[in-house]
Amino acid sequence: MKENQISTGRFIDGKEIFAVELTNSLGSKVKIYNYGAIVSEFIVKNGHGEQQDVILGFNDIDGYLNEDYLAEYPYLGVIVGRYSNRIKDGKYSIDGKDYQMEQSLHGGVAGFDKKVWDILPTIDPSLTLQYISPAGEESFPGNLTVQLTFKLSDEDELILDYKAVTDAPTPINLTHHSYFNLNKNGGNVGDHHLRMPASNYLEQDANYVVTGKLIPVEGTIHDFLGGKKIGQDWDPKEGYDQSYVLDKPYGHLGLAAEATEASSGLKLEVYTTEPVAHFYTSKYLNTADSKDHKGYKPFEAFCVETQHYPNGINVSEFPTTILRPGETYAQTTIFKLSH
């Protein structure tokens, strides 16, 4: 694996935005910005020997900073934090103290996805980004130091290793929000085939907030245990926007999802140490621009957002999402392409 760091010439709050390219012996390439830890390209050979980009995004950093894009803002390819998904009413308590944050999706109005991260030196060809989130940012307590390391293996695995420490108890639930489409011509992902080893999904209220109840997938549209086309059972106007509890030991690296697309011959496998995968088929995706300048429409991508239980900080039965001083938050997620 090799790396190449390129200046974009853009600055935010005095910090320079760089693009970092990781390549491997197969000729594959991943491009990552230190703004929002955005993965903007993941180019591999498909089943026909053609180079194909499987990630939605823009040709350059300007696309991600465009006002029209930010007005719609689908979180294309970014890291999400301090807390991914939804916290009910933006309220939670730690050690008897109540906190109220502004109600929003994915960690606040200006979460980790809108920060310029520091690029740390590494010994091997990889990219390690660091962001220090000050106490009180988006109403979260504690100074939180987060490091995210990207590696591209010679087996076309994009490996994401997360670590975080804090000086005061704080909620944390990080994920990455890459949008995938394995068809080289893009379009609706309903024909992609998906398998998910998840026997239960998490009940959500009308605002997509997890209630704490687990529901068996058997006999529902959420049953992907044996694999099926994504569009086989969905409501074509709604798609999927649902969290699934993975059938693996807590904290162990295991399969979260496996997606294939017939025309390209590509297969995406997602592995994670996290207990939950949120599966989203981009109902709200709507951009005027894109890499091919045709824009993106709803249901033209899918996301597998590996994470802890959404709203877990308010559900005592779920594993804790509170990080305390002296502890280290750690998780690994792997996106593996093959044909």
User: Any idea what the CATH number is for the domain that residue 159 is in?
Assistant: 2.70.98.10
User: Which whole-number Å values give the CA distances from 66 to 19, 60, 63, 105, 290, in the listed order?
Assistant: 17, 11, 5, 20, 12
Residue in the block written with tokens 């465009």: 66
Q: What is the pLDDT of residues 24-39, one digit of tens each?
A: 999 999 999 999 999 9
Q: Determine the pLDDT at residue 107.
A: 62
Task: Tell me: is residue 178 an annotated ligand-binding position.
Answer: yes
The verdict on whether residue 179 carries a ligand-binding annotation is yes
Q: 12 and 116 in contact (C-beta within 8 Å)? A: yes
Distance CA 315, CA 309 (A): 9
Q: Is the pLDDT of residue 101 over 80?
A: yes
pLDDT value, residue 207: 86
Q: Is the pLDDT of residue 166 over 80?
A: yes
Q: Residue 135: is its pLDDT beyond 90?
A: yes
- 208 band by pLDDT with thresholds 50, 70 and 90: confident
The pLDDT of residue 93 is 94
**Could you report the per-residue pLDDT of 59-82, keeping only the tens digit for each?**
999 999 999 999 999 999 999 999
Can you tell me the mean pLDDT for 175-184?
Answer: 97
Q: Is 177 annotated as a binding residue?
A: yes
* φ, ψ (nearest 5 deg) of residue 65: -105, 0
Report pLDDT for 213.
95
pLDDT at 206 exceeding the cut of 90: no
Residue 293 reports pLDDT greater than 70: yes
Residue 247's domain comprises 2-338
pLDDT for 90 = 87
Sorted by sequence, the CB contacts under 8 Å of residue 35 that are 6+ apart come out as: 10, 12, 17, 61, 64, 114, 115, 116, 117
Active-site residue, from 106, 176, 177, 308 = 177
The answer on whether 10 is annotated among ligand-binding residues is: no
Q: What's the burial of 222, exposed, middle or buried (CB within 10 Å: 0-12/13-18/19+)?
A: buried
- Count of Cβ atoms closer than 10 Å to residue 328 Cβ: 9
Catalytic site includes residue 293: no
Mean pLDDT of 108-125: 90
- Of 173-177, 207-211, 273-277, the poorest mean pLDDT is in 207-211
- Cα–Cα separations (whole angstroms), residue 232 to 146, 192, 228, 308, 327: 39, 10, 7, 28, 44
Residue 173 has pLDDT above 80, yes or no: yes
Q: CA angle, 312 as apex, 307 and 318 as ends, to 5°? A: 95
Q: What is the pLDDT of residue 226?
A: 97
Does 126 belong to an annotated binding site? Answer: no
pLDDT of residue 105: 66
Task: Enumerate residues 6+ apart whose C-beta is below 8 A from 81.
Answer: 107, 111, 112, 113, 133, 146, 172, 173, 174, 175
Q: What is the pLDDT of residue 123?
A: 83
Give the separation between CA 214 and CA 191, rounded to whole angstroms: 28
Q: How many domains does the chain have?
A: 1
Is 324 marked within a binding site?
Answer: no
Question: What is the pLDDT at residue 86?
Answer: 85
Active site (annotated) includes residue 177 = yes
Q: What is the pLDDT of residues 235-252, one digit of tens each?
A: 999 999 999 999 999 999
